[in-house]
Amino acid sequence: MCVRCARITTTPITVSEVHQASGPGFNVYACPDCAPHFPPLPDALDLLATGWRRREGDER
Ligand SMILES: [Zn+2]
């Protein structure tokens, strides 16, 4: 399923790979129409996850 337009596509393109230390990672897919709209850097979600972990650390 496309992460941007939520359409089911028969030719999903991986636009991001999310790796989590606390669980299984997953891939983010987009349809060919939406894939060009994603930035070439695929680690946005990874950076988000890292930021969350850092915030939790600051609160303690
Ligand atoms: Zn799409």
Q: How far is the CA of 11 from the centre of ligand 1 (A)?
A: 11
Q: Does the residue 8 lie in any domain?
A: no
Residues 22-49 have pLDDT tens digits of: 888 888 899 999 888 876 655 555 656 6
Question: Does 48 reside within a domain?
Answer: yes
- How far, in whole angstroms, is CA 7 from its chain's centroid? 17
- Count of positions (residues) in the chain: 60
Instruction: State the total domains in the chain.
Output: 1
Q: Higher-confidence residue: 31 or 19?
A: 31
Q: Which residues contact 20 (CB under 8 A, 6 or more apart)?
A: 49
Give the distance (Å) from ligand 1 centre to CA of residue 16.
14
Which has more pLDDT, 16 or 44? 16
CA of 29 to the centre of ligand 1 (A): 9
- What single-letter DSSP state applies at residue 49? H
- pTM score, whole prediction: 0.54
| Centre of ligand 1 from the C-alpha of residue 43, in Å | 19
Tokens of 34: 């939406």
For residue 7, pLDDT over 90 is answered with yes
Tokens of 6: 């939520």
| Domain of 52, in residue numbers | 13-59
On whether residue 3 sits in a domain, the answer given is no
Residue 57: per-residue pLDDT? 60
